[in-house]
Amino acid sequence: MLEEGRTGFLVELRDPQGLADALGPILADPAIRREAGDAARAHVKSSYSLTRTAATLDRLYRGHSRSMSILCYHAVDPRWGSTLSLTPAEFERQCAWLARRRSVIPLQDAVAALDGSFRLPRGCVSITFDDGF
């Protein structure tokens, strides 16, 4: 998961000033960019190796496949104009549809369910993006 200020930054949706504030120090200082990039790369290598990811997904699917789905998007960007991307309006419609029919939970809760520290609600779904687009 993201470590705020170390491996990435969380910014509220539709908050351009917040995004500018988060990116400002990184854009202004090559040393900070290098440090943040190194930390993010080390985090990904230690947390998302193929073996570890496969084992985590295997535990998740074996233990919770009837009660949980993970919906993975590629991009929300009207400029792409491809089947790999949705417009923001399409994404919002899909999220609203899911919210009316399923329990949408943070991915952190799905991961916590693996060690038993969170009980998944029936019919839950987590939404994620495959590569940061």
Q: What is the pLDDT of residues 72-83, one digit of tens each?
A: 888 888 776 666
Name the one residue in this structure whose structure tokens are 């000033």.
17
The ranges of the chain with pLDDT < 70 are 1, 50, 57-67, 80-84, 131-133
- Give residue limits of the domains in the chain: 1-47, 66-133
Q: What is the pTM of this model?
A: 0.47
64 close to 121: Cβ distance less than 8 angstroms: no
Name the one residue in this structure whose structure tokens are 């792409």.
80
